[in-house]
Amino acid sequence: MGASWGSVGSVGNSRPVGMKDVARAAGVSVGTVSNVLNRPDIVSADRRARVEQAIAELGYVRNDAARLLKMGRSRTVGAIVLDSTNPFYADLVHGMEAAAEDSGLAVIVGSSGNSAEREKLYLSLFEEQRVRGILLASAGTDRELVRSIVDRGTPVVMVEDEGERGADGRAGGGAGGSTVSVDDVEGGRLAVAHLVEGGARRPAMVFARGDLHQVSARIEGAEAAATEAGFELELIEADDLSVLAGRAAGSEIAERSPGDRPDGVFCVNDLVAVGVMQAFAYEAGIAVPDEIAMVGYDDIAFARSTVVPLTSIAQPSELMGRTALALLEEKISAGADAVDRHVRFSPELVRRGSSRG
């Protein structure tokens, strides 16, 4: 078959096929066509068959825009992540998608690339599309903007943001949305405490600027752990959170005279750690962990496969994604009288060869 049908549907130039055309072809009213599409059970068998055949023959495709316009809200949720190329976010999104599928929602994803501008862009795009809700896992977020979006009726769940800062005195997080977070201060503390325990006397941390709350929280914890142990934490800045930036930071360390180098390095995420280790291995032959011990953050799938398997602070990325979507669903069904909920996960140290102890 197939080829024998001749010209199927509206080939090329002609006007697009709408429900009216289907109705005419099937000899029924548009209302009936709509019913066949949305509540097939209430329409009689023969009519349904006629309509279905007409749909197939004409190659009718439902116009979601019109449907959406009429219905008010879509079956879609929007997610904004910092960087979809980073496995941590990829897993996060994966968790969201899995949970969404179970509830018949579709997820559309945008990468902000840590640009506040792109983030705003996606935010408005999603709001204009009347998505059912927004998942925000990007961080330089304009709180006023988020709040106004929430006020206008689109629920927002933020991933990886403060659970209870209350700096501005508002109950439960300034922006007015549920949050899923990990205790990043604790994560930073764990990492540096582990380095110190393993014998590090000159701990350092490689970080990157940008107003990511996670980053400053990790620094805070790292510094606390160092201070508690009686050491000072050296801060080394990388350009961003990528492997490449890590590699550059690693070179910088490698170029110093051996006596001047830190003996334990905590990296703000695994990508950076991988980069730093690349520089150590290929450019300077620095032994990990003997000369310098390493700890990363996120525990991405590749961490256990690096040159020297990377000790890392694990976050339950996929679970966090699922949870974020669950919270969003809760808000969606609760409607106006929804209450903000804040789920906080604990980071966990995963010991591997890149550190001692």
**Scanning the structure block, which residue is given the tokens 């979809």?**
84
**Helix or strand holding residue 135 (H, E):** strand 133-137
Q: Which is nearer to DNA, 26 or 295 (CB)?
A: 26
Which partner in its own copies, DNA, none is near 12 (CB below 5 to 8 A by kind)? Answer: its own copies
Q: What's the order of all strands across the beta sheet hosting 76-81?
A: 106-111, 76-81, 133-137, 156-159, 178-182, 342-345
Site string for its own copies, 15-34 (x = CB under 8 A): -x------------------
87 part of the interface to its own copies, by CB under 8 A:
yes
Residues 235-294, interacting with DNA (CB under 7 A): none
Half-sphere exposure of 89 (CA within 13 A, CB side): 25
**Of 113, 107, 112, 111, residue with least CA distance to 95:** 107
- Contacts for 134 with CB less than 8 Å, ≥ 6 apart: 77, 78, 79, 80, 123, 126, 127, 149, 154, 155, 156, 157, 328
CB atoms under 10 Å from CB of 64, counted, come to 12
> In this chain, which of 10, 24, 30, 198 binds DNA, going by CB under 7 A?
30
Which partner in DNA, its own copies, none is near 104 (CB below 5 to 8 A by kind)? Answer: none
Q: Which is nearer to DNA, 39 or 259 (CB)?
A: 39
63 part of the interface to its own copies, by CB under 8 A:
yes
Q: Which is nearer to DNA, 49 or 287 (CB)?
A: 49
57 part of the interface to its own copies, by CB under 8 A:
no
70 part of the interface to DNA, by CB under 7 A:
yes
71 part of the interface to DNA, by CB under 7 A:
yes
- Contacts for 305 with CB less than 8 Å, ≥ 6 apart: none
> In this chain, which of 53, 302, 333, 334 binds its own copies, going by CB under 8 A?
302
34 part of the interface to DNA, by CB under 7 A:
yes
Which partner in its own copies, DNA, none is near 90 (CB below 5 to 8 A by kind)? Answer: its own copies
Angle, helices 243-255/270-278, rounded to nearest 10 degrees: 40
Give the separation between CA 136 and CA 305, rounded to whole angstroms.
30
Residues 256-295, interacting with its own copies (CB under 8 A): 274, 277-278
**Of 228, 222, 203, 195, residue with least CA distance to 356:** 195
Q: How far is the CB of 258 from its own copies (least distance, A)?
A: 23
Residues 35-54, interacting with DNA (CB under 7 A): 35, 37-38, 42-44, 46-47
> In this chain, which of 144, 237, 283, 290 binds its own copies, going by CB under 8 A?
144
Q: How far is the CB of 19 from DNA (least distance, A)?
A: 3
235 part of the interface to its own copies, by CB under 8 A:
no
Alpha helices in 111-261 (DSSP H): 116-128, 143-151, 184-197, 213-228, 243-255
Half-sphere exposure of 286 (CA within 13 A, CB side): 29
CB atoms under 10 Å from CB of 244, counted, come to 14
**Of 90, 80, 88, residue with least CA distance to 112:** 80
Which partner in DNA, its own copies, none is near 31 (CB below 5 to 8 A by kind)? Answer: DNA
Residue 296 in contact with residue 312, Cβ under 8 Å?
Answer: yes
333 part of the interface to its own copies, by CB under 8 A:
no
Give the separation between CA 224 and CA 348, rounded to whole angstroms.
17
**Scanning the structure block, which residue is given the tokens 């679970």?**
319
Give me the residues that bind its own copies (CB under 8 A), please. 2, 8-13, 16, 59, 61-66, 68-69, 72, 74, 84-85, 87, 90-91, 93-94, 97, 106, 108-111, 124-125, 127-130, 144, 148, 151-153, 243, 274, 277-278, 301-302, 304-307, 309, 336
Give me the residues that bind DNA (CB under 7 A), please. 15-16, 18-20, 28-35, 37-38, 42-44, 46-47, 60-63, 66-67, 69-71
